[in-house]
Structure 1
Amino acid sequence: MCRSGTAMRLTALTLLALLLTACGAGGGQDAQKGGRKPVFPVQVLEVQGGTVEYAISSTGSVEAFEQVLVTARVRGVIEKVNFREGQEVNPGDILVEIEPQRYRNELEAAQARLDKADASLKDAQAGLKRREDANRQTPGIFSPDEVESWRNRVNSAKADVSQATADVKIAQLNLRDAFATAPMAGIIQSRSVQSGAYVQPGALIATLLRRDPLLLRFTVDEDEARSLKQGQQATFTVTDVDQPLKAVLTHIAASASSRSRMVEVIAEVAPEDRERVRPGTFARIRIVTGSRDNAPAIPQTAVRPTERGFVAFVVENGQARMRLLTLGLRTEDGRVEVREGVKPGEKLVVRGAEALKDGVAVKIDEPVQPQDK
């Protein structure tokens, strides 16, 4: 009797457990069937339209228009140096004096030799004339040999005058060159001599830079060069000047370098900016070649590459919508122009797009402000 009751209780517990298990399984299936689709949190930015500039960027350097090596043209001791580094000079300014008194003396000596040669020539010409006149009045009074001898004297005296004249000119040049002068307006870049030094012709005295005009030299690739022309405006920045500086394109090389395939470009720095930069400075150049108004520009981080092309997601009615994009210019502030795919005013997903597919439900968190993108 006791065994029978125990068996009945075990059977009842077993049936209850099976019933509860069946009920639990049925409830899970109902919950799964009635479960909600996942909602993805995203942050969005309203697409804004504006003016997008098409620009070419490059790097280069500021250069002096001309660099001249001022050298000695005569030998001698430098008696006086009239310049220092960084000094502005004008054409004809005397930089150094190389024994000018010695070259004055040489000029005076050469002039004296010329005067003597002139006097000898006049005497020879007068003697020849007297003999020729006498022979005309009294033929045969002077022998032909004597007349010919005086003619030779005249010719020799003329040669002496020519030589003395050349010596005077050389002495004049030497005296002029004893005062080494600036050949053009510019700034003294370096000084290579000291007072008392002995120099030979060709010895370097100073390096002179011509800053008017001041040049900007850089290169662009062949495709970019096609959109450039002389007279086009450019801006550039240097490390020690806060504001952009201006320049005008003056030369675009007719052909690219056979090695680098780059095209050399030269621009003149605007007159008002010449004193703000110095030759040799590294520069970052920007040339605007066109613009587009009311063009949507979005953060480059919102663009995703796919097999179909570049895409981005926008939010419409609580759902993510994938848009195939046609991209244009990339701007310097990290944005990219969108020529087709999104329009100003749409809500662009800028964060949380990694797991999105077209049509999935999304929840917009706090919108991203343009400065936070």
Structure 2
Amino acid sequence: LTAAREELSRVRAEREALEAQRSNLSLVAPVDGLVVSRDADPGTTVVAGQAVVELIDPSTLWVNVRFDQIRARGLAAGLSAQITLRSQAGELQAGRVLRVEPLADAVTEETLAKVVFDQIPDPLPPIGELAEITITLPTLAATPVVPNAAIHHKDSRLGVWQVTNGDLRFTAVSLGIADLEGRVQIREGLKVGDQVVAYSENALNERSRIHVVDHIPGVTQ
């Protein structure tokens, strides 16, 4: 009889241990969200730390964006943005910069940022879809601008071919940001009113003869 009681106590202890383990099998989501991926099938044995499902919170949907560091001056959290999803070409959605990541990509020389929607799209776009982002940067002080095509490299220097009294000379410049229409800001090297060569069929040098025209034939202004 004593042995039977001890066996009963052992079985009860094992049952209590199994019930305690069973309570640990419940997966409690930290937020109300949407399951986008099931990484374990029913009956599969899983170990501690192994992912079972992937859950997202639709209210925290963002776009990971990369910006060329040269053109990222002024990028900051709170700036307004326009988002165009790859599957909705031509449709603009309002957004804003959530944050600029403190760690840049040293290999690609890009600044990383996260952009969020002002209003979450309905239905939700597929996670991982590509998007085009346009950021409205703060207004800069007025400076000269030139077409991107006017920028040349000469003897490891960046500059433009400037026209002075009908003669050409290479003027080194310091560039700022560029806009979507192909204009580049000149920080140093030129002043308002200076003439530069915007286009030439052939490579130029100081002895090149040029003919200034109001516009390039065949090109719509």
The one-letter code matched in structure 2 to 1:300 is N
Aligned equivalents of 2:109, 2:197: Cα separation in 1: 39
1:214 counterpart = 2:66: no
In the other structure, the counterpart of 1:298 is 146
Aligned equivalents of 2:110, 2:212: Cα separation in 1: 49
The one-letter code matched in structure 2 to 1:199 is G
Structure 1 residues not aligned, in runs of 5+: 1-155
Contact 2:70/2:177, CA 8 A, preserved across alignment: no
Structure 2 residues not aligned, in runs of 5+: none
The one-letter code matched in structure 2 to 1:365 is V
CA RMSD of aligned residues (A): 5.2
CA distance 1:356–1:224, change in 2 (3 Å): closer
The one-letter code matched in structure 1 to 2:161 is A
Q: SS state of the match for residue 350, structure 1?
A: coil
Work out which of the residue numbers 157, 160, 164 in structure 2 matches 1:311: 160
Q: SS state of the match for residue 312, structure 1?
A: strand
CA distance 1:253–1:354, change in 2 (3 Å): closer
1:329 counterpart = 2:173: no
Contact 2:173/2:187, CA 8 A, preserved across alignment: yes
In the other structure, the counterpart of 2:101 is 252
Aligned equivalents of 1:226, 1:339: Cα separation in 2: 13
In the other structure, the counterpart of 1:170 is 19
CA distance 1:232–1:223, change in 2 (3 Å): farther
Tell me the TM-score normalized by structure 2.
0.57
Aligned equivalents of 1:209, 1:188: Cα separation in 2: 7
What displacement does 1:272 show? Answer: 0.9
1:199 counterpart = 2:63: no
Q: Which deviations, in whole Å up to 9, do the C-alpha atoms of 1:30-79 show, x marking residues without a partner?
A: xxxxxxxxxxxxxxxxxxxxxxxxxxxxxxxxxxxxxxxxxxxxxxxxxx
In the other structure, the counterpart of 1:150 is none
Work out which of the residue numbers 278, 282, 286 in structure 1 matches 2:126: 278
What displacement does 1:211 show? Answer: 2.5
Alignment: residue pair count: 202
Aligned 1:1-373 pairs, distance under 5 A: 163=12, 167=16, 170=19, 183=29, 184-190=31-37, 199=43, 202=46, 207-218=54-65, 231-233=77-79, 235=81, 237-241=84-88, 242=90, 243=92, 245-250=94-99, 252-253=101-102, 260=107, 265=112, 267=114, 269-275=116-122, 277-285=125-133, 291-307=139-155, 309=157, 310-314=159-163, 316=165, 319-320=166-167, 322=169, 324-331=171-178, 332-352=180-200, 354=203, 357=206, 363-368=211-216, 372=220
Q: SS state of the match for residue 292, structure 1?
A: coil
Contact 1:311/1:325, CA 8 A, preserved across alignment: yes
What displacement does 1:351 show? Answer: 3.4
Q: SS state of the match for residue 367, structure 1?
A: coil
Which of the two has higher C-alpha Rg? 1
Aligned equivalents of 1:356, 1:223: Cα separation in 2: 28
Contact 1:249/1:268, CA 8 A, preserved across alignment: yes
Contact 1:326/1:338, CA 8 A, preserved across alignment: yes
CA distance 1:262–1:249, change in 2 (3 Å): farther
Aligned equivalents of 1:299, 1:268: Cα separation in 2: 29
What displacement does 1:298 show? Answer: 0.8
> By percentage of residues, which structure has more helix?
1
Contact 1:297/1:338, CA 8 A, preserved across alignment: yes
